[in-house]
Structure 1
Amino acid sequence: MSDNSITRAELISIFIRAGILGICSYFAVKWMVNTLDPTRKQKREAQLRAERLLSRLGVKDLKTQLNEYELSIAAQLVDPQSIDVTWNDIAGLEDVIDDIKATVILPIRTPELFVRSELHQPPKGVLLHGPPGCGKTMIAKATAKEAGARFINLEVPALTDKWYGESQKLAAAVFTLALKLQPCIIFIDEIDSFLRSRETHDHEATAMMKAQFMILWDGLISAKHCQVIVMGATNRPQDVDKAILRRMPAMFQIQLPNKEKRRAIIDLVLEREDLNENVDLVTIADITEGFSGSDLKEMCRSSAMFRVKEFSTQLLNNGSAGDCDEREEFTSPDVISSLRPMNMNDFLSAIQKMKESKVSLLTGHSMIGLD
């Protein structure tokens, strides 16, 4: 045998060493990637937050059955008991609330009443659409609280990942987690920004994630007695993909409030406020045409701030006098808590200011100097 020949034992030894080197290289590269990953810390914090939320929800046995993707989505869970929005906090939308109670909440809370007919099952998709600031998000939160369902407030950026294929796995985890936690509501605010109409120039990863999302959604629709609902909110329903609209048969239009509804909203916002006898809420509701629910709340807040500004001005003027005894008396808790009641001029000034701001935004220039 030649001296240059390699024995069988030497060949096996070379293969073993090459295998060990390959394994060590794999784990070394994986360790370096994980160490250099800027999102590694955020992912770990999200998983810890998810474990705390699941424990608070009483989901202890299921925690060990969730994979890393489901734990990442679970970090966006909201405890229904921690939601501070109820039907009593929403005014002027009684007709929409009644429909949601009948079509969504009742089948979730009393499923035994609806098992005999598939037509009685809750819709797997609900779309709330209308102008901004009209209460769409509040309705979604109140629905989750009143139904006693787990609530996933899905943040679309959480579904994106720099690694190819990871976004599809995260999209799948949304539905697998919801199935394990049902009854569950998956809420997507501004759904048009995520599931807008598909175009040929869409990025491949985005297109694949949308397709995965819709395929899994179809699985929910075909499943019997499934208590998972996807609820979306948008002020641009025309931009939502038609295939998504088909999966959301229950649509509720949240319109700008009319005069009666504006009065109901104002009454709700001001129910604990001290008002001067000259405040005419009927007139305020009449002159705030075109205001949304959030506009009305901001108008009431701005009106209340006028008395605070007056008080702070008096406080500064009193403090500049240098009389410490008088200043201490002026800033006593009894005096601070007895701000003057809100008067009609406060509301009229706030409304005028907001109208000027709205016109300025629409016309693209300031109202200063205009008649």
Structure 2
Amino acid sequence: MMAIARGMPATTAVQANVMSRVGRTVLGWLEKLKDSIADTPLYFWVYIGALVWITRQLTNRTSKATRRITVAGRQVHLNEAEAQMASNVVDIDKIDVDFSDVGGLDDVKDALTEHIKWPFQHQELFSGKTVRSHPKGVLLYGPPGTGKTLLARALAKELGCSFINVNTESIFSKWVGDTERNAAAVFTLAAKISPCVIFVDEIDSLLSSRSAMDATPHMHAKTIFMTHWDGLEKDSDARIIVVGATNRRFTIDDAIRRRLPLQLEVPPPDAKAREKILSILLAHDLEYNPKKEGLIRYVALKTAEYTGSDLSELCKAAALMPLREMESMKVGGASSAAPEKVPPLTQQHFDKAMERVKASK
């Protein structure tokens, strides 16, 4: 005590001595607490809880950091989740289809034009107290291969919008908190690059009916998705539209279906629609064929159960048939063959192709 007093005032020396004893007491208490926790099963869960808390803190710090990235032709500041979601964005310039490239489905295209395209182009006619609506959600349902994805891309082109392709892989994650952040990032990214179409393919797998068997992150992701979606509905000026596609409409959560007021069936094509689809698919290959109309009519009548996707595969298979008849293709080697020497497509070519490509069930 005297040694301490020589170097400092007496009051300071007493305070230092007291603090030292208090520190030793606290350390001793903490050691006893640690030993008691270590002797119980609670220690394991305390350890796990601490790791989870630390992981969340580190993840939150990382996710809040932003960087400047070019998305859909514009420079925007994105956080980590938004930057990952940006890989699913298709720029309007990269979309090469519009409604004229969609064969048939005239009723569906008319409904999308009236309910979606007109409000986008003439907002002044759909604002205020008028009952004219501007739905922020569209559900396209029907059998696989009927053109639902093609319609969604064509709609984005018609609206002049960027296109975000959302699927389960881009939302769900095994890492703590990432699933919820990804669900929110879909809408925050869309707001930064609007006007934008958010396309949820196989929406039944992502936003199916909720149940007690759902994992907690998946349940939270659905709630976050709906919360942000509600924000779009309340903002009349938001130029963002959500389009879902499914072949199992009634497995979608009821709350999600309520947010999809415009529900349009995309049926398999009838004979007239098949003719239009074939005319688009074979526009180049039959450009100079004098029997073009008769051939298209023949194929349309022979493909009663084919979907649009089936017709596309059928045309690809038929287009290969004339190459089999060319001598230059039979001879091995890398010798070039002039396109003008390719034999024209005939009924026989399509008959052979139909043996290979069957209608999907």
Question: TM-score by structure 1 length?
Answer: 0.75
Q: Paired residue for 2:328, among 282, 295, 315?
A: 315
3-state SS, counterpart of residue 211 of structure 2: coil
Question: TM-score by structure 2 length?
Answer: 0.77
CA distance in 2, matches of 1:82, 1:273: 24
- Shift of the 163–306 alpha-carbon distance from structure 1 to 2, 3 Å rule, reads same
Cα pair 2:126 2:134 within 8 Å, conserved: no
| 1:185-214 Cα deviation digits (max 9, x unpaired) | 111111111011122211111111112211
Cα pair 1:152 1:187 within 8 Å, conserved: yes
Q: Paired residue for 2:308, among 285, 293, 302?
A: 293
CA distance in 2, matches of 1:75, 1:315: 43
CA distance in 1, matches of 2:20, 2:151: 73
Q: 2:353 matched to 1:350?
A: yes
- Shift of the 280–170 alpha-carbon distance from structure 1 to 2, 3 Å rule, reads closer
What is aligned with 2:80? 68
Cα pair 2:323 2:329 within 8 Å, conserved: no
3-state SS, counterpart of residue 242 of structure 2: strand
AA aligned to 1:268 is: I
- Shift of the 289–152 alpha-carbon distance from structure 1 to 2, 3 Å rule, reads same
- Shift of the 156–318 alpha-carbon distance from structure 1 to 2, 3 Å rule, reads closer
AA aligned to 2:192 is: K
CA distance in 2, matches of 1:345, 1:273: 15
AA aligned to 1:244 is: I
- Shift of the 276–348 alpha-carbon distance from structure 1 to 2, 3 Å rule, reads farther
CA distance in 1, matches of 2:187, 2:329: 57
What is aligned with 1:146? 158
Q: 2:236 matched to 1:224?
A: yes
What is aligned with 2:258? 246
CA distance in 1, matches of 2:111, 2:240: 18
Cα pair 1:108 1:147 within 8 Å, conserved: yes
3-state SS, counterpart of residue 75 of structure 1: helix
CA deviation after TM superposition for structure 1 residue 68, in Å: 2.5
CA deviation after TM superposition for structure 1 residue 129, in Å: 0.6
AA aligned to 2:357 is: M
CA distance in 1, matches of 2:134, 2:18: 69
Identity level (%) = 35
What is aligned with 1:272? 284
Cα pair 2:295 2:346 within 8 Å, conserved: no
User: What is the RMSD of the two structures over their aligned residues, measured on CA atoms?
Assistant: 3.4
Cα pair 1:188 1:233 within 8 Å, conserved: yes
Q: 2:342 matched to 1:339?
A: yes
Q: Paired residue for 1:53, among 41, 49, 71?
A: 71
| 1:286-330 Cα deviation digits (max 9, x unpaired) | 12111101111111111111112333xx336545xxxxxxx89xx
What is aligned with 1:165? 177
CA distance in 2, matches of 1:289, 1:185: 33
| 1:114-135 Cα deviation digits (max 9, x unpaired) | 2234533420110001111111
What is aligned with 2:98? 86
What is aligned with 1:128? 140
CA distance in 2, matches of 1:249, 1:118: 17
What is aligned with 2:46? none
What is aligned with 1:189? 201
Cα pair 1:104 1:122 within 8 Å, conserved: yes
CA deviation after TM superposition for structure 1 residue 162, in Å: 2.9
CA distance in 2, matches of 1:164, 1:230: 26
User: Which structure 2 residues correspond to residues 4-43 of structure 1 after superposition, within 5 A?
Assistant: 7=17
Q: Paired residue for 2:113, among 96, 101, 105?
A: 101
- What residue ranges of structure 1 are gaps of 5+ in the alignment? 15-28, 320-326, 363-371
CA distance in 2, matches of 1:316, 1:91: 33
3-state SS, counterpart of residue 232 of structure 1: strand
How many equivalent residue pairs? 315
CA distance in 2, matches of 1:306, 1:316: 11
